[in-house]
A and B are shown apart, each in its own frame.
Chain A
């Protein structure tokens, strides 16, 4: 005998349920109002603005797809995406590796371990503007301590922020100063690895390297994935150091995508074009993130 599942009928919520809904929305209303006013509305407005020419002074003028076409053909726009991609491709893997190695070191039982952990985390709480100014001095071609240190090993002074070939590597190098956040997350993850697994691996004769490669890293893969996603998003959004230190120079070699959007909007007053660039950038970062999530199925290990 086949039993039919009775169709669900729409039932008007009871007064109690409605009251609960109302209370829930009431508590969530500050966030909802703020989200609609300061996130959703500006995003929708910026889509409309992408099809306008507007210099902030007069009224916006509809120009069709001109901004979209310019976005794909303008040399500066494409260069800014290349610069951001270059920075991301080199900076993020280096940050991940260094943060992971530091985390491994700082989970060992060593003296003053907490001091080292605090020290490596400190750059995170320094305002970006402040450390940009500091690094500008560190990288000074004549008086900078980096060139001073290099001179000890016979390397002549380098015009770090004044040579288009060296400026981006200098920024990649600087980004390693900010690995504290990744490191702290890795330390938390390493602390959650069951010691019994490591003991079992040891008993089975696994060397330290094999334990690392076959036990630690797979168990840490969700956090590595998280740090990779956040690292890529953050490095794509890099703006303040380039704005403060080089303003996109020399010769646009550090003109990152967000800086280009800022310049188009607030320096050249091409607000419509800047809005189009912002949406292009958003879509690219979203695509990157989706691809990462898709690829994560192949290498990220979840216990469940």
Chain B
């Protein structure tokens, strides 16, 4: 007869299994929570260039780098982080590139900050980091800049760099690139139509005339004189060319002023007429799924930046015979005799953490001459100092992308101003108000600039008033 006491019943077995599984789960959870993040001890500052070998006894450090995941940048981040880790074996740089960064980068960053897990280093555009600094999320870097004499990216006298890297007397952004935009033109359109290439002294009227001459949508292969950008932040250049600006101040604005006659006329032209009246630009419907764009050969001119080079012409495209021969020049002369262009610095900032020192070393390396050359060469973007632009970048883009008039970028940057920076991010103003209230109806052809811009002002003013009331 079986001794029942010595055998385990099915019920008892199930109970024991459940208890065991629960215990394991609890132990695993406690084990993960108990592991502290490894950190570098407080050491004497590293050498100036930031890329030299760390002292052999340095403790392991893991740095998370939340990176802008534009296709042009991903390869650069890999090169820079690999090289840095090679020279600093105690440092592990974990790069997280955010795909479709224009839509996804800041939600991901903001969620990480809210969750208490900010990255050690984060990409930032020059107009988006201010709200993070205002909320104490970012570490000021003035002491590090002074200690390491890292002054090349902060030349005196260029206000757009000052406005996009510093706030309330403190520096936060480490520039990896200077940003400005100029007119790209595809030479074949001009050659085929027998129209001379534009020259630096061209005017707004000449620009529109050229665009109309180069537009022909009668055949199967449509040709457009220009590709409008269809967004406020790109059209800021056209707005400022009128001599007016859409806020009382472009740093910490208090008053929205879209509804001025000059701005109304300019946005009526750029956000409505070019699509629906003059028909010299492909509509958003025409451009759906990437069709009818300058890079598909359908458009003669587009306002763009250095990151766009590789989409038109590159060694890889030339190998396949798919390159588009192009060049660049300053934007047409508008009513403002200063001929302002948009300009800003873009790079990385350091969220507050116990790893700021180690994060600075990595960011410093990326922004150093050596690191920045790697970045500029890989991405085509403009380096972070005008000296490097002249001596290194212009010859490089000429060889790599076929750009003859790289000097236009220097000229544009010297007369540049930021879009708008302050406690209310430009992206919030755009996505919450300017786009749905202003641009969508204009681009869709259902309202004119005169009809929508007063409402844009009204809504923006509410947001600005709410912000200033909370300060």
CA distance in complex: A56, B25 (Å): 31
Is there contact, CB below 8 Å, between B436 and A269? no
- In the bound complex, what is the Cα–Cα distance between A201 and B114 (angstroms)? 65
Q: Which of B44-52, B78-86, B315-323, B438-446 contacts A (4 or more CB under 8 A)?
A: B438-446
Q: In chain A, what residue has the closest Cβ to B443?
A: A250
- Shortest C-beta distance, A31 to chain B (Å), equals 12
A136 interface residue, CB < 8 Å from B? yes
Q: Is B284 in contact with A143, judged by CB distance below 8 angstroms?
A: no
B132 close to A (CB within 8 Å)? yes
B209 CB within 8 Å of chain A: no
Scoring A residues 55 to 91 as 1 if CB is less than 8 Å from chain B, else 0, what string do you get?
A: 1111001000000000000001000000000000000
Interface residues of A in 245-304 (CB under 8 A from B): 248-252, 263, 266-269
B446 touches which one: A30, A56, A136, A251 (CB < 8 A)?
A251
User: Which of B18, B135, B436 has the most chain A CB within a 10 Å cutoff?
Assistant: B436
Q: Does B286 contact A (CB under 8 A)?
A: yes
Q: Quick check: is A140 within 8 A (CB to CB) of the other chain?
A: yes
A131 at the interface (CB under 8 A from B): no
| Contact between chains at B285 and A162 (CB < 8 Å) | yes
User: Taking the complex as formed, is B288 at the interface, i.e. its CB lies under 8 A from any CB of chain A?
Assistant: yes
**What CA separation (Å) do A124 and B329 show in the bound complex?**
51
Q: Does B15 contact A (CB under 8 A)?
A: yes
Determine if B107 and A143 form an interchain contact, defined as CB atoms under 8 angstroms apart.
no
Taking the complex as formed, is A26 at the interface, i.e. its CB lies under 8 A from any CB of chain B? yes
Closest to A22 in B: B15
Q: Indicate if B111 sits at the interface (CB-CB under 8 A).
A: yes
User: Which residues of chain A are near B137, meaning CB under 8 Å?
Assistant: 57
Q: What mask results when residues 95 to 132 of chain B are scored 1 for a CB within 8 Å of chain A, else 0?
A: 00000000000010011011000000000000000011
Given contacts A162-B283, A164-B444, A252-B440, contact A56 B288 (CB under 8 A): no
Smallest CB-CB separation from A264: which chain B residue?
B432
A141 touches B288 (CB 8 A): yes
Alpha-carbon distance between A213 and B283 when the two chains are bound, in angstroms: 50
Determine if A137 is an interface residue (Cβ-Cβ < 8 Å): yes
Does B195 sit at the interface, judged by CB under 8 A? no
- Which chain B residues lie closer than 8 Å to A61 at the CB level? 470
Partner of A137, one of B19, B22, B135, B289: B289
- A contact residues around B113 at 8 Å (CB): 56-57
Determine whether the beta carbon of B135 is less than 8 Å from that of A266: no
A57-B132, A57-B135, A142-B286 known; A251+B444 contact, CB < 8 A: yes
Query: How far does the alpha carbon of A141 sit from the alpha carbon of B288 in the complex, in Å?
Result: 8
Closest Cβ of chain B to A113, distance in Å, is 37
* Chain B interface residue bracket vs A: 20 to 34
A266 to B111, CA, bound (A): 8
Among residues of A, the one whose C-beta sits closest to the C-beta of B433 is A268
A23 sits at the interface (CB 8 A): yes
A162-B284 Cα distance, complex, nearest whole Å: 8
**B149 interface contact, C-beta 8 A:** no
CB distance from B201 to the nearest CB of A (A): 38
Contact B110 A269 (CB under 8 A): yes
Asked if A26 and B15 make an inter-chain contact with CB atoms under 8 angstroms apart, the answer reads yes
Let me know if B7 is at the binding interface, CB within 8 A. no
- Chain B residues lying within 8 Å of A152, measured Cβ to Cβ, are none
- Please give, as numbers and ranges, the residues of chain B lying within 8 Å of A248 by CB-CB distance: 436
Q: Smallest CB–CB gap between B167 and chain A, Å?
A: 14
Q: Counting CB contacts under 8 A, is A189 at the interface?
A: no
The verdict on A159 contacting chain B, using a C-beta distance below 8 Å, is yes
Q: Do residues B19 and A26 form an inter-chain contact, with CB atoms below 8 A?
A: yes
Residues of A close to B289: CB separation below 8 A: 136-137, 140, 143
Contacts of B432 in A (CB 8 A): 267-268
A164 touching B131 by the CB < 8 A rule? no
* Chain B minimum-CB-distance residue to A266: B107
- A27 at interface by CB-CB < 8 Å: yes
Nearest B residue (CB) for A250: B444
Known contacts A266-B107, A267-B431; A140 and B288 CB within 8 A of each other = yes
> Is B291 among interface residues, defined by CB-CB distance under 8 A?
yes
Q: Is B428 an interface residue (CB 8 A)?
A: yes
* Binary interface encoding of chain B residues 268-287 relative to chain A, with 1 for a CB under 8 A from any of its CBs, else 0: 00000000000000011110
Q: Mask for B136-175, Cβ within 8 A of A = 1, else 0? A: 1100000000000000000000000000000000000000
Chain A residues positioned under 8 Å from B285 (CB to CB):
141-142, 159, 161-162
Please tell me if the beta carbons of B132 and A56 are within 8 angstroms of each other in the complex: no
Q: How far is the CA of A249 from the CA of B14 in the complex (A)?
A: 55
Residue A29 CB within 8 A of the other chain: yes
Chain B residues with CB under 8 Å of A252's CB are 436, 440
Question: Closest approach, in angstroms, between the C-beta of A254 and any C-beta of chain B?
Answer: 12
Please indicate the chain B residues that have their CB under 8 angstroms from the CB of A136 in the complex.
288-289
Complex CA gap A44/B284 in Å reads: 42
| CB atoms of A56 and B18 under 8 A apart | no
Indicate the member of A30, A163, A250 with the most B CB atoms within 10 Å: A250
A residues 159-218 touching B (CB-CB < 8 Å): 159, 161-164
What chain B residues lie within 8 Å of A249 (beta carbons)? 440
Given contacts A55-B131, A57-B113, A140-B289, contact A30 B444 (CB under 8 A): no
Task: Give the docked Cα–Cα distance between A61 and B440 (Å).
Answer: 32
CA distance A248 to B18 in the complex (A): 47
* Complex-state Cα separation, A161 to B284, whole angstroms: 10
Query: In the complex, A251 Cα to B22 Cα: how many Å?
Result: 52
User: Out of A55, A56, A58, A143, which one reaches B291, CB within 8 Å?
Assistant: A143
Contact between A57 and B440, CB atoms less than 8 A apart = no
The answer to whether residues A26 and B22 also contact, given A57-B137, A252-B440 and a CB cut-off of 8 A, is yes
Contact partners of A269 in chain B: CB under 8 A: 110, 428
State in angstroms the CA–CA spacing of A136 and B15 once bound together.
Answer: 53
Which parts of B1-35 form the interface with A (CB within 8 Å)? 14-15, 18-19, 22, 25
* Cβ A251 vs Cβ B114 within 8 A: no
Complex Cα distance A291/B22, Å?
41
A and B contact pairs by CB, cutoff 8 A, 6 listed: A136-B288, A159-B285, A161-B288, A162-B285, A249-B440, A251-B446
Given contacts A141-B288, A252-B440, A266-B110, 13 further A-B contacts (CB under 8 A): A23-B15, A26-B18, A57-B135, A142-B285, A142-B288, A142-B291, A159-B285, A161-B288, A248-B436, A250-B440, A266-B107, A267-B431, A268-B431
Write the residues of chain A forming the contact surface with B, with a CB cutoff of 8 angstroms.
23, 26-27, 29-30, 53, 55-58, 61, 76, 136-137, 140-143, 159, 161-164, 248-252, 263, 266-269
B contacts, CB < 8 Å to A: 14-15, 18-19, 22, 25, 107, 110-111, 113-114, 131-132, 135-137, 283-286, 288-289, 291, 428, 431-432, 436, 440-441, 444, 446, 470
Q: Which 8 A-B pairs have the closest CB atoms?
A: A57-B135, A56-B114, A162-B285, A58-B135, A266-B107, A56-B110, A268-B432, A251-B440
